[in-house]
Amino acid sequence: MRAWRMATVRTLGLTALLVGCAGKSEEESDGEAPVPANAEVAIEIENHNWSDVVIYLVRGTYSERLGTVGSLNTKTFVFPYRRLGTGGEARLRADPIGSDRTFTSEHLQIQPGQWVKWTLESDLTRSFLGVY
């Protein structure tokens, strides 16, 4: 009977030791879930401008053409979240065709699965955007 108790105490002690030494998972350690590899970001452009506008995604000094939105039209661009890099920070640039003026948005902090709506007005400086 005494040997059985000792074996039980050792087993419980060893189990407690292993549980205490076990490392935390990545989710538990920083409180954030890992970003899925296939997470996407959608950017909807509503163009109230009189010109067709070319839209660029800007990260630092690098800009990438997303596409063109026709005058008085709406278009959605979808791309993988990993295109934003590690910080998820970017800006958008509108370049009206036939004009020498471009307009660049303020910095955006985008998370996986979010979408952005940018409404371009006839005077681009009055444009506004939202992250949802």
Residue 121 has pLDDT above 80, yes or no: yes
* Percent above pLDDT 70 for the chain: 73
Range of the domain at 79: 40-131
The candidate with the shortest Cα–Cα distance to 51, out of 72, 66, 65, is 72
pLDDT of residue 38: 78
| 22 is a domain residue | no
Separation of alpha carbons 131 and 101, rounded Å: 25
| Mean pLDDT in residue range 64-80 | 96
Give the pLDDT confidence score for residue 6 in this predicted structure.
Answer: 58
Residue 84 contacts residue 90 (beta carbons within 8 Å): yes
Asked if the structure places residue 21 within a domain, the reply is no
Q: What is the arithmetic mean of pLDDT over 50-60?
A: 96
Where does residue 43 rank: exposed (0-12), middle (13-18), buried (19+ CB within 10 A)?
Answer: buried
Q: What pLDDT was estimated at residue 2?
A: 60
Residue 58: which CATH number?
2.60.40.2890
**Total number of domains in the chain:** 1
